[in-house]
Amino acid sequence: MSPSTIYPSGPRLSYRDFGAPDIPAVHEYTADPLVTRFSTWGPNTLEQTTAFVEEAAQAHLLENRTAFSLAAVLDGKTIGSVGIWTTDAHDRNGELGYTFHRAYWGKGYASEAVAMLLSFGFTTLGFERITATCHPENQGSIRVLEKSGFSWEGRLRSHRLVRGKRRDSMLYSILRGE
């Protein structure tokens, strides 16, 4: 991917690489304990949010980019972060994830973002398989993944070390053409 990558837009959301001006909007949701309760990170300090945005902003300069952390933008405002990355280049496997400001939950934005990520992953990145994991109690993400055509593959026991404790993850996948 070149530094001038154009990302698909959805009916309501557009997607772009992050920049320093996104830090305040991103920090609104990355510092929110309710938003981050099922994530492997957060709630973020301002320094952690700044580091995330700066790292994501620099990624577009990489010649052979394998990970995309993008701003999800509604009417000019960053309302979430979406990402897709290569997990195995040889086997053409990828993984995706998303986080949205809670003011935008339950309005279909995550489903719209997943549809864009799937299109980008299968068409532009050439993936054959895309996975996603989520906390077993994250019913919102489970609904988004199932609605988006993902199949449940199983429970990964003691999969993550989060805030000093082991926790399980639910594993979902979708194949090209499904």
Q: Taking the complete model, does pTM exceed 0.85, yes or no? A: yes
What is the percent of the chain with per-residue pLDDT over 90, rounded to a whole number? 91
Q: Could you tell me the two tokens for 92?
A: 């053409």
> Which pLDDT score is estimated for 5?
67
> Which pLDDT score is estimated for 63?
84
> How many other CB atoms are found less than 10 A from the CB of residue 163?
9
Mode of pairing for the β-strands spanning 93-100 and 129-134? parallel
Which residues in the chain show pLDDT less than 50? 1-3
pLDDT (tens digit per residue) in 27-64: 999 999 999 999 999 999 999 999 999 999 999 888 88
pLDDT (tens digit per residue) in 18-28: 999 999 999 99
Which segments of the chain are extended strands (E)? Answer: 14-17, 67-74, 77-88, 93-100, 129-134, 151-162, 165-175
